[in-house]
Each structure stands twice: as C-alpha cells, then as structure tokens.
C-alpha cells in the first residue's frame, strides 16, 4: 500500500479545509458582507457536495479510472479558484465559489474509494491514513492564522491557491487500485438505499452536519467579537483537530473492539454538549479548549464510524456512489442547511440560540441511531 502517497493527498485536501473553514468567513467579512450573506456564501461550499460527488461517483462506478477523475477534478478546481482575486460582488463570488467547490468536492469520495481498495480487508487502518488530513488542517489553520494577523485576510487567497496546487500534485502520485470482484450478484443500489437502517444512517449523518452549521460559518467571527486574535483563533481550531489526530491514532483499536453504531451515538451526544459549551461560555478559555477537544467526537470518531458503516452498506460496484452519497447527504446537504439556517438564526436571535438549536439537532441524531440503526453484519 502506498501509505505516504495516499497520505499526501489527505494532507493537502484537508489543508484546504483548514484555510476555508476558519478564515473564509473572515475574508468575506472583510469584503463587507453581513451574517446572512456570509452564511449564504458558506453554504455554497456544502451545497455543491450534494451534486458533485454523485455525478463523479456515477462516472467512477461505471467507467472506472477513479484517479483520472480525481486528477481532472483537482485541476479544474485550481483553475476555477484562479478567478477569485479581484472578485468583490456577491453574485461574482458566489459563482466562483460554486465552480471551484463543485470540482474540489468531487475528488474526495473517489479518492476514498481508491483508499479502501488499497486497504482491502484492513478497513480499520483507514484512520492511520486519514490522520494526515488532520495534520494538514492543523498546519494551515495555525500558519494562516499567524499570517492573517500580520498581513490581513488577503493572504487567505494565496494559501488556498497553494493547497489546491498541492492537491493536484499529490493526485498525480497515486495509481488506481481495482476493487476485489464480488463473487455474488449484487442487487440494485436502490434496493440498498431502501433498507431502513441505510435510510436512518443517511438521516443521522445529515443531522450531524446540520448541527455543525454555526461552528463552520461563524466560529471565527464569534471569537473575534470576544476579543480573540486571529492567531489565537487558529490555535483553538488546531486544538480541535489535534484531538482528532490523537483519536485517529488509536481509532483502529476502538473500532476493532466496539461496534460502529454505539460509537456513532456517543459521538452525537458529545457533539450536543460541545455546541452548548461554545454557545454559552465563549469568554471562558478553559471551556473553549474543552469544546475543541470534543471535536475528536463530533468529527473524528463520528466520521470513522460513519465511513465504516458506509463501506459496509455499499460494496463492489456500488462503492463509489455509496461514498458519494455519504459525502453529499452529510457534508453537502447537511452542511448547506446548517450553514444557511445558522445565518438566519444568528442574525435574528444571536449566537447562543443558534448553538442551542445545533445541540438539539445533534441529540435528535443520537435518538435516531438508538431507535433505528441496529448493529449488523455489514460492520464486520
């Protein structure tokens, strides 16, 4: 298995996320946009995940050559982003964001399918590869925060161009790996999708990402309003991802000992607690640090358990579309609804109310896991 070549792609892909999530909202704010406009623009990053992964996932499953798709998507996202410098109007920025995020969001689900083909039966080793994505996130969130403090938000554009180029270059280092051929005839993907536990699974991952809306769209702005510097905000973001990295190091042991279903439920409960801590104690640094440590649950353990279940539900020729559906319905639809609605809640009723609603949504997801997703042989 080409461990370092696979890890390099994760590093750069999530380095882009480490620039977009903490600092893109601040960049948009520097252009004069209000909370509603920022929430709407940030939701584009999530909304394109609804369509893009499924379009490219269908192509990957039917045409093969997933890495060619990854390379093409990476190249087009880089070219689209090059139009961003100088853009100022809402419509102009919205169009460019739609283009570059459509191609950027297309690449990861296909790369995940390639990764699982390399892993074969050693699915639990996925977290050892994925942790390098978290490392990339930490590097950019700290470095870009330091640079923004000293040079202004314009440096965000330079940072994003650099990591998009890194994504393209790292994709050139990985070759396709064919999946093992299934010995039995597979049912239609629609048969799989109509399974009650699969329906419940997609509802749950959707709700988890909805609950992240206020965090992804406004966390940096929220802390800035309480007097935190850009570099301090970057450190707080990095604490969360560092906790995620530490979890990923040991996640293969957790997944080999416990079922993915209870891990999913506990992650949602801890996410609910996290949003309350952020919403009501932003002026207490210790509470913010604790809330960021809980990122290991709200993203780390949740994502590891969810992708484990998705890999179990969607096998063989459905693999690419299964990963695409997970990405589009969670990070895509859930993220778009969460960021857009959080802009409305933030504008009308303020941050504590927005985070309270996020907490309630996460608890609803935990109840759905408990009520509708049984432990099944697809996890084995």
Domain ranges for the chain, please list them: 3-176+188-379
The model's pTM is 0.75
**pLDDT for 372 beyond 80:** yes
Please state, in angstroms and rounded to a whole number, the distance separating the CA atoms of residues 278 and 357.
Answer: 12
Q: CB neighbours (10 Å) of residue 227?
A: 9
343-359 pLDDT, tens digit per residue, is 899 989 999 999 999 99
What is the rounded distance in angstroms from the CA atom of residue 14 to the CA atom of residue 11?
Answer: 6
pLDDT tens digits, residue range 115-152?
878 887 776 677 788 889 888 988 998 899 889 888 98
Residue 234: predicted pLDDT: 84
Q: Which two tokens stand for residue 96?
A: 């460019």
377: pLDDT strictly greater than 50: no
pLDDT band (50, 70, 90) for residue 18: confident
User: Helix 126-151 to helix 90-119 angle, to the nearest 10 degrees?
Assistant: 150
Mean of the per-residue pLDDT values for the chain? 86
Sorting pLDDT into bands at 50, 70 and 90, what band is 326? Answer: confident
Integer Cα distance of 304 and 309 in angstroms? 9
CB 6 within 8 A of CB 115: yes
Q: Encoding tokens for residue 238?
A: 């990095």
Q: Which of 51-60, 108-117, 175-184 has the lowest average pLDDT?
A: 175-184
Burial 73-91, CB ≥16 within 10 A → b, else e: bbbbbbebbeebeebeeee
Question: Does the pLDDT at position 230 exceed 90?
Answer: no
The three-point CA angle 36-40-45 to 5° equals: 145
Label residue 36 exposed, middle or buried (CB < 10 Å: 0-12, 13-18, 19+): middle
Per-residue model confidence (pLDDT) at position 183 = 46
Contacts of 139 (CB under 8 A, 6+ apart): 15, 18
pLDDT for position 160: 95
Selected residue with higher pLDDT from 34 and 353: 353
Q: What does the pLDDT average to over 289-307?
A: 91
How far is the C-alpha of 349 from the C-alpha of 205, rounded, in Å? 26
- Count Cα neighbours of 46 within 13 Å in the Cβ-side half-sphere: 26
Cβ contacts of residue 317 below 8 Å, gap of 6+?
Answer: 61, 182, 186
DSSP 226: T
Q: Could you tell me which CATH class the domain 3-176+188-379 is placed in? A: mainly alpha
pLDDT at 318: 67
Confidence of residue 324 (pLDDT cuts 50, 70, 90): confident
Whether residue 48 contacts residue 105, with contact meaning beta carbons closer than 8 Å, is answered with: yes
Taking the chain, what is the end-to-end CA distance rounded to the nearest angstrom? 22
Which of 127, 143, 161, 163 is CA-nearest to residue 249? 127
Judge residue 121's burial from the number of C-beta atoms within 10 Å of its C-beta, 0-12 exposed, 13-18 middle, 19 or more buried: exposed
């Amino acid at each position: 298995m080409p461990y370092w070549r696979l890890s390099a792609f994760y590093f750069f892909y999530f380095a882009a996320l480490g620039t977009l999530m903490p600092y893109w909202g601040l960049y948009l704010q520097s252009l004069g946009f209000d909370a509603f406009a920022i929430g709407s623009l940030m939701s584009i990053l999530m909304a394109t995940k609804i369509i893009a992964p499924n379009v490219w996932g269908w192509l990957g499953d039917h045409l093969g050559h997933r890495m060619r798709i990854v390379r093409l998507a990476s190249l087009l996202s880089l070219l689209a982003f090059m139009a961003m410098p100088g853009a100022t109007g809402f419509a102009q920025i919205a169009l460019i964001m739609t283009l570059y995020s459509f191609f950027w969001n297309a690449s990861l689900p296909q790369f995940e399918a390639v990764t699982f083909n390399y892993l074969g039966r050693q699915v639990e080793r996925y977290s050892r590869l994925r942790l390098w994505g978290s490392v990339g996130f930490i590097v950019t969130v700290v470095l870009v925060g330091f640079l923004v403090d000293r040079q202004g938000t314009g440096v965000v554009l330079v940072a994003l161009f650099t990591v998009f180029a890194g994504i393209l270059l790292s994709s050139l280092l990985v070759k396709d790996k064919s999946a093992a051929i299934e010995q039995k005839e597979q049912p239609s993907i629609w048969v799989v999708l109509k399974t009650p536990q699969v329906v419940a699974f997609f509802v749950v991952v959707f709700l988890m990402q909805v609950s992240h809306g206020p965090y992804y769209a406004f966390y940096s702005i929220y802390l800035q309003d309480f007097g935190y510097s850009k570099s301090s905000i970057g450190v707080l973001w990095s604490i969360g991802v560092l906790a995620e990295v530490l979890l990923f190091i040991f996640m293969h042991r957790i997944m080999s000992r416990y079922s993915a279903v209870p891990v999913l439920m506990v992650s949602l409960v801890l996410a609910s607690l996290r949003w309350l801590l952020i919403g009501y104690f932003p002026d207490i640094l210790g509470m913010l640090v604790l809330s960021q440590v809980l990122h290991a649950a709200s993203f780390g353990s949740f994502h590891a358990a969810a992708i484990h279940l998705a890999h179990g539900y969607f096998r063989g020729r459905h693999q690419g579309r299964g990963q695409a559906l997970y990405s589009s319905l969670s990070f895509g639809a859930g993220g778009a609804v969460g960021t857009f609605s959080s802009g409305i809640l933030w504008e009308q009723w303020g941050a504590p109310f927005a985070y309270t609603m996020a907490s309630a949504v996460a608890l609803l997801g935990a109840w759905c896991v408990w009520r509708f997703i049984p432990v099944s042989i697809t996890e084995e």
